Structure 1
């Protein structure tokens, strides 16, 4: 396989902008990791006209894909977790080319998982967790049990990823195998939700009772990144927070996260007068 693809990746490797080339081969008959292709090539470059460019090839009844990705896009995927297979590719793919030990250093960084990066990722997962959990609770109260189930499964996935990150590891695609070892309590919640013999309504009712305390107890850990940014000044308008280069990653989850943290007395509302009578701007500060 590598010999057949060599002319393709060597052409890329010879370009001065190319930082690394990795090969990922199909492991099973069903292989979402490679989009069911027999092999995937990941080419990392310094800069490009497009952050991601993909080509498909066919040879000897086999299929291959080549994904050309800028370093900036790759770093964003790793930071935000928006392409979850990318860490698996970096950790487990076969290195075909590595300019100036770019990949060696990147993989070392992944193993070290710097605390500042970990703190941000925990905050993002916690924001997603709160949104999914409260949406699930809303559906449950409306007796829409299938929708509630869907949202609470997603909420538990975010809680599982948060636990893995808090323990200094990148969440893998098989995150529940990690959680079983790291935080059995969260794994038990998930197992009882998906594998209990109880009626769905009863399963959800028990899960909300059991997980309420667990999710609320994670508030200080989950909010640590957001609160550290808010220490930069006394009061923040919501738009100011959204414009912050790190807080912007929270996107649509920021509003619901702030309201949750107000309920937990970690953030407080400071009213600012407007020209309208009895109408105030809301600003936010860390609770004293």
Structure 2
């Protein structure tokens, strides 16, 4: 199949926006890494207009898939971790074309840092955990226990993912199986919530108390990515932060996370004059105390 595909990838390699061309061959007939295809032609392009392009080929016996992925889309997948086979393609793929050693450098980075974008991943999970915790606590205080229970499950799920990431392990769909080995205490907390014979009110009280402890313990490390960006200039308005490409991964949790860090005095607010004398723009900066550390 490789020989038959040669004209296809040679044509792609001749295009100025093609960064790398890799070939991945299946190891078994039902290989999930190649989506059961015999061969994957993985092409990375700097053209971000169309993030994903796919074509399927066959020579009558074997089948192949060509995936043209934009650099921006690839980075998004690596940071968010929603397409795990991409890492397999990068690690296992045979490089046929590599402009400025783009794929080779990615391979080396993944080898040195198996969990690509560890800091931002931790920040995203902590932000989601805090939101679920806060919403759950409100439901709990209003005695809406089933709503609180759902938020507690969600909060623990993000805690488990955060713990896995801290341990340089990519969270899997079966993250609770991972927790048995990585952090039995976190797994025990989850087990108590879903399996204990205690009244749901008592179980929730325990989970929210423990969650508060974990949030406190992980805040400094998990906020390093966001605080590092804030430190790049004197102050930022919220729109500027939303427009930072890597911060867009926080999605709707960004503003909530910022306000949490303001409350914890890791971020300071700055009042900037606006056209209205009675109103000020609210901007954000790294806390002065952190700048002097």
TM-score, normalised to structure 2's length? Answer: 0.73
Spell out the pairing of 1:13-92 with structure 2 (5 A cutoff): 13-15=9-11, 16=13, 17=18, 19-23=21-25, 38-39=36-37, 41=40, 43-47=42-46, 50-55=50-55, 67-87=67-87, 90=90
Alpha-carbon spacing, 1:214–1:90, altered in 2? closer, same or farther (3 Å) = same
Partners of 2:2 and 2:264 lie apart in 1 by 57
Alpha-carbon spacing, 1:59–1:230, altered in 2? closer, same or farther (3 Å) = same
Quote the offset at 1:216 in angstroms.
1.8
| Structure 1 match to 2:266 | 266
Superposed CA RMSD in Å reads: 3.9
| Structure 1 match to 2:156 | 156
| Structure 2 match to 1:214 | 214
Alpha-carbon spacing, 1:185–1:240, altered in 2? closer, same or farther (3 Å) = same
| Structure 1 match to 2:284 | 284
Alpha-carbon spacing, 1:199–1:183, altered in 2? closer, same or farther (3 Å) = same
Quote the offset at 1:255 in angstroms.
0.9
In structure 2, the residue corresponding to 1:246 is in which secondary structure?
helix
Partners of 1:26 and 1:149 lie apart in 2 by 43
Aligned residues: 278
Alpha-carbon spacing, 1:145–1:13, altered in 2? closer, same or farther (3 Å) = farther
* Unaligned ranges ≥5, structure 2: none
Partners of 2:27 and 2:53 lie apart in 1 by 19
Partners of 2:193 and 2:187 lie apart in 1 by 10
Deviations 1:68-91 (A, max 9, x none): 423432222102334355335655
Contact 1:85 1:173 in 2 (8 A): no
In structure 1, the residue corresponding to 2:86 is in which secondary structure?
helix
Q: Are 1:253 and 2:256 an aligned pair?
A: no
Deviations 1:233-265 (A, max 9, x none): 333322232233433332321111111112212
| Structure 2 match to 1:179 | 179
Runs of 4+ that moved beyond 6 A = 25-28, 56-60, 62-65
Partners of 2:282 and 2:213 lie apart in 1 by 29
Quote the offset at 1:211 in angstroms.
1.4
